[in-house]
Amino acid sequence: MNDVSRVAGVSRGTVSNYINGRSVRPNTKLKIENAIKTLNYVPNATARALKTNRSNYVVWIIPTVNSPFFSELSYHMQIALDALGYKMILCNSNSQASKEMAYIEMAKTQKVAGIITMSYADISHLVSPDIPLVAIENRVTQNFPLIISDNYQGGFIAAEQLYQRGARRLLFISKTPVVGVSALREKGFKDFCQQNHIHYHRFIASDSVQFIDDFEQFINSNITYKSFNYDGIFSDSDEYASDFWHLLLQHHIAVPADVQIIGFDAAKIYARQQPMLSSIRQPIEKIVHIAVQQLQYQLSKPNTKSSLVKPIILPVTFIEGMTTK
Amino acid sequence: MNDVSRVAGVSRGTVSNYINGRSVRPNTKLKIENAIKTLNYVPNATARALKTNRSNYVVWIIPTVNSPFFSELSYHMQIALDALGYKMILCNSNSQASKEMAYIEMAKTQKVAGIITMSYADISHLVSPDIPLVAIENRVTQNFPLIISDNYQGGFIAAEQLYQRGARRLLFISKTPVVGVSALREKGFKDFCQQNHIHYHRFIASDSVQFIDDFEQFINSNITYKSFNYDGIFSDSDEYASDFWHLLLQHHIAVPADVQIIGFDAAKIYARQQPMLSSIRQPIEKIVHIAVQQLQYQLSKPNTKSSLVKPIILPVTFIEGMTTK
């Protein structure tokens, strides 16, 4: 703070006012912001916690950390928050509304610095606009930033990649219900197919727990003379795609020679491992970077009430693994 | 606390003394403990935090959550701690001693309830015996409980399983250096082989980052007339085992028909997915259960200084996936 004060040529108290969101003159504000840029100054979370009666904990709510996408996301989120002096409280909700609500309540009573959430329940009535919050993938309320990957584009790219690599008998697989981001992913896939006059089939497992049995049954009834009836498969989830891949292997169907598969997320199972499944990559580092930035922004402007925040949509990319030619 | 006091027939103050580790008469202690058992009473972390000047946060230090074993372990740890009213602070250390030390320092200044750690650095000089701590896999100091899986037995079982399933040309794969738990896993494997007069080879990748290139080169130089020179492979890590598996597939080597593979950990990549790789399972739920129990014990007896705690060794089991016959 002393450095910022010196470079900006304003008093330490004025810098403190700025950091804690109290009003300062526009001209002074500009001087401080330039000084901060010059010094590459990051406000320390602990120092702020002492001043603002808020702790430097950030609540991180996800369905479960036991899945490659969420574990990779959680890893980068914790590292990014730690670099700014925040401690991350991991909260697995198992997608249960009651759990998500309990974590939000906890965040309020603990006076945490903020919340970053991938909530699936309607928690809008629980969050007041004065608690900093960033939503990923699902909208909480219109007052908070929302970061989403371009799910529609991902489905479109998947169909395009399968087509360019010679697949003509396309199949979309998922489990019921295909709603939200899953529906967007299928819509993109569908639109590419329609625009290129390709017919595609869809198989949606009805049992959401034992879906692998549904996949097995479907594969069994779609093998004609030792070959599979489809040569290009897209799933809205790496989990289903990899299950399907291994089931095909058990039936001695050659992947990718005879059947190509593309999943969604392309999260790393191990940080150093090469991707095995070809897949549409969600930009995990970018999601984390923007989420933390949006949280920092709200923390630096505690008195600004934003209304109607537009979603931030991030591009996805195709990652080549072992399941496409 | 009122219920415990009523059932035990002692005053509320005496129950409070017991919970906060102050001395109570042996006879009274027995009454309270029986009442707690009867009521299935779990001391609430928040209530204790208010009384003891310690927060109800638990610091959880691991190398990285971005790996199936640690993400499954972290999931169960957070759920178990949450059930007792504790919030879990996730700390990725990337196995860096400086990071681990910084997290321990943070735990001290934040007056957290306790630490559960899989540390690889020597942090013994940083932890004072009065902060509750539980170590998993690596000893911190002799004063704290240590929970480890039976790594030696795991290696022994892996060799036994490969042998029983007909494999005779055995191979152990890992990356350098093979020390600590890895060395124990190989020792178990070696001892089974020696006892049964089977010769085994070992291949240790020398490049710890690009080890997959080393594996690829090794496979290339060990294929004779389209068949691989080994028919049974054990690795001390699921990561190397699954990399090896996929490399063999790319070389059109049939797994498990011609080559069987067993890894170590058998952690779930997705909570609902069937295991794909045959592997030695570390008892994750059991590790979590005992870790939390050991932490609770230290919290309930803050004035007990324990010395020379014996490690708690947990049995491992073979899990059949798709890579053994």
Tell me the CATH number at A130.
3.40.50.2300
B214 three-state secondary structure: helix
Question: CB under 8 Å to B237, separation ≥6 — which residues?
Answer: B174, B182, B263, B264, B265
Q: Cβ of A57 under 8 Å from any chain B Cβ?
A: yes
In a domain, A24, yes or no: yes
Same domain, A155 and A223: yes
For chain A, the C-alpha Rg in angstroms (whole number) is 24
Position B120 scores a pLDDT of 75
Same domain, A66 and A104: yes
Enumerate residues 89 to 108 of chain B having a beta carbon within 8 A of any beta carbon in chain A: 89-92, 106
Same domain, B230 and B250: yes
Query: Is the pLDDT score of A235 beyond 70?
Result: yes
> Mean pLDDT of residues grouped by 10 in chain B (325 residues)?
84 83 83 76 53 80 95 98 95 92 86 89 75 88 89 98 98 93 97 96 86 92 94 96 92 94 94 88 97 91 68 96 94
- Residue A20's domain comprises 2-41
Which among A279, A277, A280 is positioned nearest to A245, based on CA atoms? A277
Distance from CA of A64 to the nearest CA of B (A): 7
Same domain, A84 and A199: no
Of A65, A87, A89, the CB nearest to B71: A65
What is the pLDDT confidence band of residue A140, given thresholds at 50, 70 and 90?
confident
Other CB atoms within a 10 A radius of the CB of residue A180 amount to 13
In a domain, B201, yes or no: yes
Same domain, B274 and B155: yes
Q: Cβ of B252 under 8 Å from any chain A Cβ?
A: no
Q: Cβ of B225 under 8 Å from any chain A Cβ?
A: no
Other CB atoms within a 10 A radius of the CB of residue B116 amount to 24
Of B89, B110, B249, the CB nearest to A88: B89
A11-15, A26-30, A162-166, B208-212 — most confident range: A162-166
HEC-encoded secondary structure of chain A: CHHHHHHHCCCHHHHHHHHCCCCCCHHHHHHHHHHHHHHCCCCCHHHHHHHHCCCCEEEEEECCCCCHHHHHHHHHHHHHHHHCCCEEEEEECCCCHHHHHHHHHHHHHCCCCEEEECCCCCCCCCCCCCCCEEEECCCCCCCCCEEEECHHHHHHHHHHHHHHCCCCCEEEEEECCCCHHHHHHHHHHHHHHHHCCCCEEEEEECCCCCHHHHHHHHHHCCEECCEECCCEEEECCHHHHHHHHHHHHHCCCCCCCCCEEEEEECCCCCCCCCCCCCEEECCHHHHHHHHHHHHHHHHHCCCCCCCCCCCEEECCEEECCCCCC
User: What is the average pLDDT value for chain A, to the nearest integer?
Assistant: 89
Position B277 scores a pLDDT of 94
Same domain, B207 and B308: no
Distance from CA of A310 to the nearest CA of B (A): 31
Question: Cβ contact (<8 Å) for A270 and B322?
Answer: no
Query: Is the pLDDT score of A234 beyond 60?
Result: yes
Task: Identify any residues that bridge with A92 across adjacent strands, giving them in sequence order.
Answer: A62
In a domain, A321, yes or no: no
Same domain, A130 and A233: no
In a domain, A35, yes or no: yes
Same domain, B295 and B218: no
Question: Cβ contact (<8 Å) for B273 and A239?
Answer: yes
Best B74, B76, B87 member to test A by mutation, with max A CBs in 10 Å, is B87
Q: How far apart are CA A320 and CA A307, in angstroms?
A: 40
Q: Which residue of B has its CA nearest to A276?
A: B246
Same domain, B278 and B292: no
Of A75, A92, A246, the CB nearest to B78: A92
Position A303 scores a pLDDT of 65
Residues of B in contact with A65 (CB under 8 A): 65, 71, 74-75, 78
Same domain, A293 and A266: no
Q: How far apart are CA A298 and CA A268, in angstroms?
A: 31
Which among A69, A105, A121 is positioned nearest to A287, based on CA atoms? A69
In a domain, B324, yes or no: no
Question: Cβ contact (<8 Å) for B270 and A89?
Answer: no
In a domain, A322, yes or no: no
Mean pLDDT, range A83-101, rounded to an integer: 93
In a domain, A48, yes or no: no
Position A52 scores a pLDDT of 61
Domain count, chain B: 3
Position A308 scores a pLDDT of 65
Same domain, A182 and A292: no
Q: What is the pLDDT of residues A265-312, one digit of tens each?
A: 999 898 887 788 999 999 999 999 999 999 999 888 766 656 667 899
Which among B121, B143, B109 is positioned nearest to B62, based on CA atoms? B121
Same domain, A159 and A206: yes
Of A71, A82, A239, the CB nearest to B65: A71
What is the pLDDT confidence band of residue A77, given thresholds at 50, 70 and 90?
very high
Interface predicted TM-score of the whole assembly (ipTM), two decimals = 0.84
Name the one residue in this structure whose structure tokens are 């989830």. Answer: A237
In a domain, B251, yes or no: yes
Position B78 scores a pLDDT of 98
Q: Which residue of B has its CA nearest to A252?
A: B254
Q: Cβ of A70 under 8 Å from any chain B Cβ?
A: yes
Query: How do strand B317-319 and strand B279-281 relate by DSSP bridges?
Result: antiparallel
